[in-house]
Amino acid sequence: MNLLGTDIFLRILVIAWAGCGIIQLIYYLLIFLPVLRIRRRQQKMSAPSDRPPVSVIVYVHNEAEKLSEYLPLLIGQDYPEFEIIVVDNASKDDTSSVILVLQQQCPFLRYSEIKGEPAFVNSAYFAQTIGVKAAKYDLLLFTEAHCRPSGPRWLSSMQQAFTRRTDFVLGYCRYTEHEGFLNSIIRYDRFFHTVMGFGMAQTCRPYMGYGGNIGYRRPIFYEHNGFMHVAHVPVGNTPLYIPEAAHSRDTALMLLPESFMEEEPVTTWKEWVRLRRKQQVAQRYYGFFVHFVWALELITRLLFYTLTVWLLLRGDLWMYVAGGLLLRFAVQMAVLVPLLRLLAVRRMWWKIPLYDVLVYPLILLALWVSQFFASFRRPKYNY
């Protein structure tokens, strides 16, 4: 019996619904799932016998309180030989006093202070350039003053990801959990961006990283002319050099828990919208392919749910449509729940259906519309 009959319009909708469902399964099985396999491989890795010296470059701008709390955690890293270079981007608080006190206790802590107007439109990239040129060693790790290492093995775990073929190491920065809907949305947003970005870095093309937890070899900096091609982008410390300089073959992910950084999220919707606009300015430089992958995921997700509701309301195909919906949901939960545990995102698994169907897509669309109108104004993010 032909359930679709001769209704051409219904045939087209069913084919579109099935196509969107298949595309969604491809995302989960071919992009998101490989991130889980990385963690399993890394858990079996043994500590390397060769532990070369490392330069840790810390970017700070008016964060003396955070610096005084988190910098001692960097100083106390369990690693044989490393240096810490704090680059102060024209802070107007007590940052310099905090550094001077800690320097008396730590001979491998160095300090560079930027005064006046930087040479780049993006003063954070200028600060990074200062740190790279001041570094003594070729292995460079970057973090920020507001990022807290998960423990004394952060440095050694990040260095462990470097092999002879590795030029870039991407680490994870998670947000601290607090009560409230906004905090939940912010943590889910970070989680989903991480899974998408790390999955693409593993399977096809690296395009993103976190300025608070990333590393690369110093020769890469000079091979790409100090990343001058993104020095004019006023979006802070976002590592926009990754899409051009990094490739899947020379980029490693580090997902062991001891390699994580943690930072406090913003606490108001206004601050978060401003932060996401800043990130969306950076995303313009990711390239067409990345935009296409993101847009295809969101569009097929929305179409799948919309067509599912419409086909269920018709009634005659409800068993097949419900089966397809349950299949997608089962694959989604089988992949995302272990990823939530892997990335230490707590109390989130039961919110996945709600966020996936309604809340998160609507927020993304609202942010895109907001960014569209904000694009007519010159962005002011330069730190």
Average pLDDT, the chain: 86
Each residue's pLDDT tens digit, 213-246: 999 999 998 888 877 777 677 665 667 788 888 8
The domain ranges of the chain are 8-36+290-374, 47-282
Whether the pLDDT of residue 272 is over 50: the answer is yes
Continuous segment of H or E residues that includes residue 332:
helix 318-342
For the packed helices 181-203 and 288-314, what is the interaxial angle rounded to 10 degrees? 120
For the sheet with 261-263, list strands across it. 148-149, 261-263, 173-175
| More confident site: 281 or 192 | 192
Q: Where are the beta strands (DSSP E) in the chain?
A: 54-60, 82-89, 109-114, 139-144, 148-149, 168-170, 173-175, 214-217, 251-253, 261-263
Assess contact for 258 and 155: CB atoms under 8 A. Answer: no
Q: Look at the alpha carbons of 233, 138, 53, 130 in this order and tell me if their dihedral is positive or negative.
A: negative
Whether the pLDDT of residue 48 is over 80: the answer is no
The CATH number of the structural domain formed by 47-282 is 3.90.550.10
Residues linked to residue 56 through DSSP beta bridges, in sequence order? 84, 141
pLDDT number for residue 105: 85
